[in-house]
Chain A
Amino acid sequence: MTDRPPNNYRDVVLAAPVSYGYSKQSDKPARWFIGSVLRELCRTAGIDKTAIDGAAISSFGLAPDSVSFLTQHYGISLRWLEQLPFGGASGVIALRRAARAVQCGDAEIVACIGGDSAAAGSFRELVADFSSFSNAAAYPYGAAGPNAPFALITAAYMERYGVTREAFGALAVAQRYNAQHYPAALLGDKPLSLDDYLNARPIAAPLHLFDCVMPCAGGEGFLVMREQRAIELGLAYVTIAAADERHNAFADDPVQLRSGWSEFGDQLYQRAGLGRADIDLVQTYDDYPVISALQLEGLGFFGEGEFNQFAASTATTFDGGGLPHNTSGGQLSGGQAGSAAGYLGVVETLRQLTGTAGANQVANARHGLVSGYGMINYDRGLCSTACILSRGGHHE
Chain B
Amino acid sequence: MSEFIANTQLPLAVGTDSGPLLLQQCGECHAVSYPPRELCGHCLVDALSWQPQPDAGQLLATTTLHHSLEPALQQQLPIVIGSIKLAAGPVAIAYLSPPSAAIGSAVTVTIGRDSAGNPVLQARPTNPQEQQP
Q: Which residues of A line the B interface, CB within 8 A? A: 123-124, 127-128, 132-133, 135-145, 147-149, 151-153, 155-156, 159, 201-207, 254-255, 378-379
Contact = CB atoms under 8 A, between A and B. Distances in A.
Interface in B34-53: 34-37
Contacts of B4: 143
Interface residues of B, number: 37
A149 B6 CA distance: 17
Contacts of B79: 141-142, 144
Nearest to B96: A141
Given A142-B73, A155-B103, A255-B60, A133 B66 contact: no
A201 B92 contact: no
A267 to B, nearest CB: 29
Interface in B73-98: 73, 79, 81-83, 85, 91-95
A210 to B, nearest CB: 14
29 contacts: A124-B69, A135-B7, A136-B8, A136-B9, A137-B8, A137-B36, A137-B93, A138-B35, A139-B6, A140-B7, A140-B8, A141-B79, A142-B73, A143-B4, A143-B70, A144-B63, A145-B69, A147-B65, A151-B63, A152-B60, A152-B63, A152-B82, A155-B61, A155-B63, A156-B103, A202-B64, A203-B66, A255-B91, A379-B93
B106 to A, nearest CB: 15
Contacts of A202: 64, 66
B110 interface: no
Contacts of B55: none
B68 A378 contact: no
A156 B60 contact: yes
Contact of A136 (B35, B61, B64, B66): B35
B102 to A, nearest CB: 9
Contact of B114 (A140, A145, A153, A155): A140
Interface in B1-49: 4, 6-9, 34-37
A203 B66 CA distance: 5
Contacts of B64: 202, 204-205
A254 B61 CA distance: 10
Given A140-B8, A144-B67, A152 B92 contact: no
Contacts of B8: 136-137, 140
B63 to A, nearest CB: 4
B120 A152 contact: no
Given A135-B7, A142-B81, A201 B60 contact: no
A141 B60 contact: no
